[in-house]
Structure 1
Amino acid sequence: MKQILKDRTLLIIGAAEMVSGIGDWITMMAVLAMLVFRGDGGVMSSSGIFLAGLLPTLFSSPVAGWLVDRVNRRTLLIGSQLLAGVVVSGLFFTTRIELIYILLAVEAVILSVVTPTRQAVIPDLVSREDLPRANAFLQQLAGLVKVFSPVIAGMVLSIMDPHTAILFDVASFFLAAIVLMFLPSLPAHGTETTHEKSKLAESPINVLQTIPQLQILFTGVFVAILTIIGFDVLSSIYTRDVLHQGEKLYGMAISLVGIGSLVATTIVMFRKTGANPWIDIVLGFSFLTIIPLALVVSYQFDNLLAAQYLLLFACLIGGIGNGLVHVQIGTIMQLVTPTHILGQVSGWLQMVMVAGQLVGLLLTPFLVPGLVNMEHFFAGMVGMMCILIIFLSIQIFRKNGLKQEIPSAEF
């Protein structure tokens, strides 16, 4: 663990992500405030916010991964923050919903290089046995952002209008770029490969076809996100229409997800012996299932206060699951993917994750409330997650199933 905290490059990347992450949350809450909490927007408006940030990323992610394997990673990180800051500043000058969606879409394209870059850089900084801890460290910082950012955003929005609050995000991008300038050069590996490896790097689908663990990982991630995204879409509507609350409770619930992530990442960081990352993923999915299950149960309550507490408790438990899943998805991919193509595979994984979100975003407003009510929809989410958990458990515990990919490590 000491080696992780002594890695200057890892600390710089984490600090920059924290700064820009806080700004991102302020913008998201500001846009939600404009279109949902302080407007008359419904499921379609809520879906539109997510859709504007996801649809372009579906197409840009493979290109982003290709760039990560060919362009100096330091240049990509700094450039993405500067360009994103310029684009987000446009939100200050408009109230037209279509322009808001366009600006969010352009921002998403620019930032699509960030996650593949981080995933590709980490194996260059730490040993294989320290990969879970390094991923947990960065996820812990993300958890801190999720804990405090909604509260900060709520405070900011309580004293100024949403458009003015967006300027905080603009400043955060430029500050993150300044922090990233202290990074050393982070050369890409794709340009250093042999001719045979370069040929393989041009076809990441070949890697996916030959590594069964990646196939299962991609499938599981897609199904889980397709299912859980329904909560993201409906949570603001559920908070407003079922619990009769607004930004304050919504922000508190998101903060508890962050606290749960902190708990999970702390466990991974200080775990003395290696553990099968696949078991952590199954456990994480199980904890995430608690969120829709709690929402189903809350419909049986006549006491709104009890329903609110149940939601907050579920978000805390679900946050633990979220932390475990995020850490170990990155760990598995880094362990089984060749270094020279890790950026591209990371880009493809990001594309698959976005595809799951997009399908869920399109299905949710189509199903709710036209075909099913929110209670039945949340019940369906529980069923889907249970099927996924059973499938992964079979893959892990069957003969010659998914095994631990990292050696045990002692502090």
Structure 2
Amino acid sequence: MSFTSDGSCWRDVRIAAAARGISVCGDLLAATALALALQQAGAGGLVVSALMLAAVAPIALLAPVAGRIADRADSRTVLVLAGVAQAAICAVLAFVSSPALIIALVAVLACGLAITQPTLAALLPSMVRREDMARAGGITQTATNIGALIAPALAGVLVGQLGPRVPLLIDALSYLSLVAAGLLLRTRRRSVAPATVLVRWRLRDDKLVTAMVVAVAGTVAGVGAINVIEVFFVRETLHSSTTMFGLISATWVAGALAGAQLFGRLGRRWTDPARLVRIILLLAAGCCVAVLAASGVPNALVMVPLWFAGGVCNGGLNVFSGVVVAERVPVAARGRAFAAMGSIVQVGGMAGFLAGGPLLELFAPRPLVAAAGIAGLIAVAASITPVFRADSSQREKGPSQAAEPGVSQPLGDSVGA
């Protein structure tokens, strides 16, 4: 599916991964700093929840528009303009105190994220050969997880010592990494087809990718409620300290970091999308089993190896889902594909997030942890039959028909000088 025919451009992979990791670190740094600042200013849970929703809702809502921008516009132009705009917005955020204005600016900031994420994701397959896609995805996920691992601790220290303004100004600088990436990357996506022509591609037309995305979104929705329940489970049910809670939260990210490295290397010889989707289902089930097992732990320390194992599965799932999209989707529609996948997964995460709060008012945390794991396993089980049906349908059509779900139009993907 239009991978580079030359040698893989690892220089570009590392530049893109670094930009992604730095910007993710900045995103989480700003979100944590703003949440802490609002809480210290006396804002209630509804205001903090609105802030979190403002940070993710545009990614889900703007997927159709963002995907088309990623597919039709010059990737260099998108990264430079979006990076500059996000840096400016974040700099303004550092000097704003009104909760309503903060939430509005965070939503605008997330609009830029909704565009840059599919743009960078669609660039990656054009940088590497097919057999190197899993390794490249592992490098990108590693950088992303390192950023996610550093940000919360860094935000806590900076807000405690210097207040929220400094973290937000640092976040503004982090967005300049996107500008640097746009200028330094040799790989570019530039549409050379007429502006009125667009590859006919829809997610529901590819049953294999659809089943994979639904399984991942369902798992995220089921397990996503843990993000709300976890703090009450660790602090109140298991009677552990805030330090232990921080350790447990960081352990899942550390596991995802290890999983990205592990499966990025193991996946070098695995390029068959149907096999990868079956592995993704197993990894999604592994995440759910870790959560389900945690519901029976006698103390918080036992959660550490379980959360690490769940994170490893999470890291592998992220790597392989990117490989499947790169293999199955025509090159000129990759931006829309990655945007659609991100949108559906974000909706699943928001559903879990919204369900967790009300359920805590009705039930104790321990049974809710078990219910979250079971809900995720049900979503995985419901996806098994569609995945095998899609695989059978692909084999009946033959590789040539299954590989090109849309009518491809030329899109300029250039690698190297």
Structure 1 length normalisation: TM-score? Answer: 0.83
Partner Cα distance (2:306, 2:38) in 1: 26
SS in 2 for 1:93: coil
Counterpart Cα distance in 1 of 2:394 and 2:304: 34
Match of 2:321 in 1: 329
Superposition pairs of residues 6-405 of structure 1, within 5 angstroms? 6-36=9-39, 38=40, 44-184=46-186, 186-189=188-191, 191-192=192-193, 198-201=197-200, 204-205=201-202, 208-238=203-233, 241-242=236-237, 248-271=243-266, 273-274=269-270, 276-298=275-297, 301=298, 306-307=299-300, 309-369=301-361, 371-395=362-386, 401=392
Alpha-carbon offset, residue 96 of structure 1? 2.9
In 1, Cα distance between the equivalents of 2:386 and 2:44?
Answer: 40
| Preserved contact between residue 72 and residue 185 of structure 1 (Cα < 8 Å) | no
Amino acid paired to 1:71: A
C-alpha displacement of 1:351: 1.9
Letter in 1 for 2:303: L
Q: CA deviation at 1:58?
A: 2.3
Moved more, 133-142 or 218-227: 218-227
Q: Which amino acid aligns with 2:226?
A: F
CA contact (8 A) 1:73 1:186 kept: yes
SS at 1:187's partner residue?
A: strand
Change (3 A) 1:249 1:366: same
Secondary structure of 2:287's counterpart equals helix
Contact 2:71 2:334 in 1 (8 A): yes
What is the aligned residue count? 387
Q: Within 2, Cα distance between the matches of 1:183 and 1:137?
A: 16
Q: C-alpha displacement at 1:52, in angstroms?
A: 1.1
Query: What is the letter of the counterpart of residue 375 of structure 2?
Result: M
For each residue in 1:174-201, what CA deviation from the matched residue of structure 2 results, as whole angstroms up to 9, or x when unmatched? 2442343212361334x43798xx3544
Shift of 1:320: 0.5
Change (3 A) 1:94 1:399: closer
CA distance in 1, matches of 2:259, 2:385: 24
For 1:297, what is the secondary structure of its paired residue? coil
Per the alignment, in what secondary structure is the counterpart of residue 58 of structure 1? helix
Aligned partners of 1:376, 1:10: CA distance in 2, in Å? 43
Structure 2: 5+ residue stretches without partners: 1-6, 400-417
Letter matched to residue 192 of structure 1: A
Question: Residues 167 and 379 (structure 1 numbering): CA distance in 2 closer, same or farther, change over 3 Å?
Answer: same
Aligned letter for 1:373?
A: A
What is the alpha-carbon distance in structure 2 between the residues aligned to residue 60 and residue 136 of structure 1?
26
For the residues of structure 2 that align with 1:400 and 1:211, how far apart are their CA atoms? 11
Question: 1:100, CA displacement in angstroms?
Answer: 2.2
Tell me which amino acid in the other structure corresponds to 1:151. A
Taking structure 1 as reference, are residues 356 and 161 closer, same or farther at Cα in structure 2, changes over 3 Å only? same
**Identity over the aligned pairs, expressed in percent?**
21
Q: Does the 8 Å CA contact 1:151/1:252 hold for their aligned counterparts? A: no
Unpaired segments ≥5 residues, structure 1: 406-411
Q: Secondary structure at the match of 2:189?
A: coil
The verdict on how the C-alpha distance between 1:33 and 1:199 changes in structure 2, with shifts beyond 3 A counting, is closer
Matches of 1:240 and 1:358, distance apart in 2: 23
SS in 2 for 1:214: helix
Q: CA RMSD in A?
A: 3.0
Contact 2:288 2:374 in 1 (8 A): no
Q: Assess, with a 3 A threshold, how the Cα gap between structure 1 residues 23 and 163 changes in structure 2: closer, same or farther.
A: same
Contact 1:47 1:361 (8 Å CA) reproduced: no
8 A Cα contact 1:292 1:381, kept in partner: yes
Conserved 8 A contact 1:290-1:317? no
Distance, in Å, in 1 between the alignment partners of 2:242 and 2:96 is 22
Cross-structure match for 1:408: none
Letter in 1 for 2:34: V
Relative distance call for 1:313 and 1:193 in structure 2 (3 A) is farther
The amino acid of 2:367's aligned partner reads H
**Contact 1:31/1:162 (CA < 8 Å) preserved in 2?**
yes
SS at match of 2:175: helix
2-structure distance, mates of 1:153, 1:279: 38
Asked whether the equivalents of residues 87 and 107 of structure 1 are also in contact (C-alpha less than 8 Å), the reply is yes
Q: CA deviation at 1:296?
A: 2.0
| Equivalent position SS for 1:378 | helix
CA distance in 2, matches of 1:388, 1:241: 29
Q: In 2 relative to 1, CA 236–192 (structure 1 residues): closer, same or farther, beyond 3 Å?
A: farther
Could you state the TM-score of these two structures normalised by the residue count of structure 2?
A: 0.82
Conservation of the 8 A alpha-carbon contact between 1:81 and 1:111: no
